[in-house]
Chains A and B, each alone.
Chain A
Amino acid sequence: MIKRFLSLEWKSFLRSASFGKSLGIKIFMGFLALYFILVFLGMGLLLYPGIKEIYPDKDPLPIVNSLLFYWILFDLVLRFFFQKLPVMSVKPLLTLPIKRSQVVNFVLGKSALSFFNFLPLFAIVPFGVTLIVKDYSVGPVLVWMFALVLIVLIINFLNFIIESLSAETELSFLPIILLTGGLYALNHFNIISFNEIFGNGFNAIYQSPILVLGLIGLLVLVYWFNFKLLRQKLFLDSGLKTKLKEVNASNLEWTKNFGDIAPFMQLDLKLIWRNKRTKSSVWMLAIGLLYGLFFYPQPTYQGLPWFFVFIGVFSTGIFLINFGQFIPAWDSGYYKLLMSQNIKYEQYLKSKFTLMAVSVIILFVLGIPYVFFGWKILLAHFAAAIYNIGVNTHVILYGGSFNRKKIDLSQKAAFNYQGTGAVQWLIGIPLLILPMGLFALFYFLIGFEIACLILAVLGIIGIVFHQKLMKAITAKYLQSKYKMISAFDQNN
């Protein structure tokens, strides 16, 4: 049976309309994975000698154990945002003679093979081998390594439990932030010293390996809980909402100020507000806005003006990147309707452009308080905002004409909690790196002000040629009209 499931998965991968595109992304992801493997490998190899060098008279193993708590917290947060439960279209399988438990086990089993679970091995194994080489007794070290693998799997399944529970709420990432933040704070302020508890726990496992049974029990528990959660979802009517919220229809009259693009603006605003997936991109605004606070308070970054631009482009352009990269796929569900209606493509695209440009302005204005960390930051953000409006909006709209992947706004696919994974973040890279590179170049060649000016001028050029650029972009969309229609018609 598992063989059949695997062949189904393989076919859906090979035969999907976006195969070519996702292949490119997969290759890129491959490189990224290779990079992380090397980083972890290096960590695993250097951990023992490194600790020995800093604390020559201490045993490295308890030190590593005492740090495990932080690793677990960090891994949980990272996985929440980047690892999704494998999606499988289960509806056709439900009426076939396949046990439901088999489907669930397959999905869960597949998730255990995730890259996220193998990555720590690249650090754990070399470190463990070093320990053995350094005359630690073999048996307990092996058990210790086994315990860490169990922890990885526990985090893996715990993440899905957190995801599935928090997917019901509107601010889906709030619970995980509160949970990990809370644990971290409790530990940090020495209210409950988790890192000691975890450290002592692992020390104890090293000393008396039988304790590893506790971890196995925990793993079974989280697996069983996941199993129960997913099995519930394996009924057709679980997709139906139990309570249909009453719709409050607002007429959004104020959009009339935007003239002929008003109907599309209204549609876009409703699109964003009424679908879970788009709505989450609104909440991302908060993250983008506060992103600078991670860096600016630290004196290290004060000396790196070229980095301001990166933050500037990111924090004023987070909506642009998040929303823009899926144009026109947001409308893929009813693309045929739009194409047979009496609309001008240009108005349709202009509405998206206006939305993105307005978001940049709003985010810039909200970000003005960053001036507290220095006027240079404000200047860099200003230049970045202009660059975003003039260049990045057009680039992302143009890129949209290559979009061939349908987005199912209603998210009927079971197990699909948020619909976004690591890939979503990759597309932002050229939009961010290019201006930062340009800025850095002129910053080192000439100076800060000139570099700002260059970025701003590029943005202004884009704004001046807006009409022309939109014409070219529209032509590109018209050119790929038939391809988009047929791709959006396919599932997967």
Chain B
Amino acid sequence: MITTNNLSKKYANNLVLHIEALEIPKGQSFGLVGNNGAGKTTYFSLLLDLIQPTTGYIKSNEIQVNESEDWKPFTSAFIDESFLIGYLTAEEYFYFIGELRGQNKADVDKLVSQFEDFFHGEILGQKKYLRDLSKGNQKKAGIVAALIGNPEVIILDEPFANLDPTTQIRLKGIIKDLAEKQGVTVLISSHDLMHVTDVCERIVVLDKGEVVKDLKTSEATLKELEAHFSN
């Protein structure tokens, strides 16, 4: 589904990301871990064509993302709060995203209604603008908005940060369900090793822009990751 080839990103002379080759098959739940500055967000930004690669390319479903925009209809993402439109209510935001993705209000309502327990009654029908919600609630709205319109690739940067424990557990359920039952390719990054190992079939460790580990998740993975990060 997603092919990365000889990808690198340099700022001035500082190489922040260099991935020789990385193949993410369709329907995989893919986790990216690494310390600050490892290149996780850079990789996601490249994948969304928000920054230009210095060399190489990423192909999503055979479409090179920095040359054509045809990957947009089947890709969605929530990277940070700048993906929210502060002066809309959550519903209006969902409808707006829905409209961009060719979904009518009924479609959006139907999808969103599945997440009522995830929202915990704090998002819908609040008559509040998104900018007035708490950080955690903003995040919930952003994550659900990324699920609108049956995307085939979903990218979530640090989805677990800022969420309360109950919501974290629910989110894990949602992500697992997407990959296993609906064949969606989910890419997440996280600093929480436990969560990623719980959710992802495959975990790639980035360090200073390079892939240093590529693990298929098993019983031993968490231990291995902990060992890696403790020295």
Q: Are A485 and B51 in contact (CB under 8 A)?
A: yes
Whether B82 pairs with A482 at a CB distance below 8 angstroms is no
- Cβ-defined partner of A339 (8 Å) among B49, B73, B84: B49
CB of A242 within 8 A of chain B? Answer: no
Q: Is the CB of B51 within 8 A of A247?
A: no
**Interface locus among B86-94, B113-121, B162-170, B172-180:** B86-94
Distance of B162 from chain A, by nearest CB (Å): 18
Distance in angstroms between the alpha carbons of A244 and B128 in the assembled complex: 8
CB pair B128–A410 under 8 Å, yes or no, is: no
Say whether A409 faces chain B, with CB atoms less than 8 Å apart.
yes
> Does B187 lie at the interface of the complex (its beta carbon under 8 Å from any beta carbon of A)?
no
> Is A306 part of the binding interface, using a Cβ–Cβ cutoff of 8 Å?
no
B213: interface (CB < 8 Å): no
A336 to chain B, nearest CB (A): 5
**A99 within 8 A of partner (CB):** no
Q: A341-352: contact bitstring with B at CB < 8 Å (1 yes, 0 no)?
A: 111000000000
- The total of interchain contacts (Cβ-Cβ below 8 angstroms) comes to 80
Partner of B129, one of A247, A262, A341, A489: A247
Within 8 A of A (CB), among B133-177: 149
CB-CB under 8 A from A337, the residues of chain B are 82-85
Which of A24-32, A62-70, A270-278, A429-437 is near enough to bind chain B?
A270-278
Given the known inter-chain contacts A263-B99, A270-B88, A343-B100, please indicate yes or no for A336 contacting B72, CB distance below 8 A: no
A479 → chain B closest CB, angstroms: 12
Interface digits, A261-288 against B, CB 8 Å rule (1 contact, 0 not)?
0110011001100110000000000000
> CB of A467 within 8 A of chain B?
no
Give Cα A249–Cα B84 distance, bound, in whole angstroms.
17
Please, which residues of chain A bring their CB within 8 A of the CB of B112?
none
Interfacial residues of chain A within 315-362, with CB under 8 A of chain B in the complex:
333-337, 339-343
The listed residue with most B CB atoms (<10 A of its CB), out of A241, A262, A267, A486, is A267
Cβ of B59 under 8 Å from chain A: no
Q: Is the CB of B82 within 8 A of A335?
A: yes
Bound Cα distance from A274 to B92, whole angstroms:
13
Most interface-central of B82, B89, B128 (chain A CB within 10 A): B82
Given contact pairs A244-B132, A267-B85, A343-B100, A336 touches B92 in the complex (Cβ within 8 A): no
Across-interface contacts of A244 in B (CB, < 8 A): 128, 132
Instruction: With A339-B49, A342-B72 as known contacts, state yes or no: A333 contacts B127, CB within 8 Å.
Output: no
Q: Is B199 an interface residue (CB 8 A)?
A: no
Task: Choose from B79, B86, B129, B149 the contact partner of A336 (Cβ within 8 Å).
Answer: B79
Which secondary structure characterizes the binding site on chain A? helix
Does A246 have its Cβ within 8 Å of any Cβ on chain B?
A: yes
User: When chains A and B are docked, how far (Å) is the Cα of A18 from the Cα of B76?
Assistant: 30
Known contacts A335-B82, A336-B50, A336-B82; is A341 also within 8 Å of B100 by CB? yes
The size of the chain B interface, using a CB distance under 8 A, is 33
Q: Is the CB of A341 within 8 A of B51?
A: no
Is B128 in contact with A247, judged by CB distance below 8 angstroms? yes
Nearest chain B CB to A344 CB, angstrom units: 9
Known A247-B89, A266-B96, A270-B92; contact A334-B84, beta-carbon cutoff 8 A: yes
Docked CA distance A266–B75 (Å): 24
Question: A486: which B residues are within 8 A, CB to CB?
Answer: 51
A249 to B129, CA, bound (A): 10
Q: How far is the CB of B90 from chain A (nearest CB, A)?
A: 10
Q: Which residue of B lies closest to A275 (CB)?
A: B87
Please state if A274 and B50 are interface contacts (CB–CB under 8 Å): no
Q: Which residues of A contact B52 (CB under 8 A)?
A: 482
Please, how many angstroms separate the alpha-carbon atoms of A249 and B91 in the complex? 9
Contact A410 B49 (CB under 8 A): no
Asked if A489 contacts B48 (CB within 8 A), the reply is no
Please determine whether B132 and A336 come into contact, CB atoms closer than 8 angstroms.
no
Closest Cβ–Cβ distance, residue A424 to chain B (whole Å): 21
B82 touching A410, Cβ below 8 Å: no
Q: List B contacts of A342 (CB < 8 A).
A: 72-73, 100-102, 149
Residue contact B86 to A410, C-beta cutoff 8 Å: yes
Contact B129 A334 (CB under 8 A): no
Q: Does B191 contact A (CB under 8 A)?
A: no
Interface residues of B (CB under 8 A from A): 48-52, 72-73, 75-77, 79, 82-89, 91-92, 96-97, 99-102, 127-129, 131-132, 149
> Footprint of B on A, CB under 8 Å?
241, 244, 246-249, 262-263, 266-267, 270-271, 274-275, 333-337, 339-343, 409-410, 482, 485-486, 489
Q: Can you name 17 extra interface pairs (CB under 8 A) apart from A249-B89, A409-B87?
A: A246-B127, A247-B89, A247-B129, A263-B100, A333-B86, A336-B79, A339-B48, A339-B49, A340-B48, A340-B75, A341-B100, A342-B102, A342-B149, A343-B72, A343-B100, A482-B51, A485-B51
Q: Which 6 A-B pairs have the closest CB atoms?
A: A274-B87, A337-B83, A263-B99, A342-B72, A340-B48, A247-B127
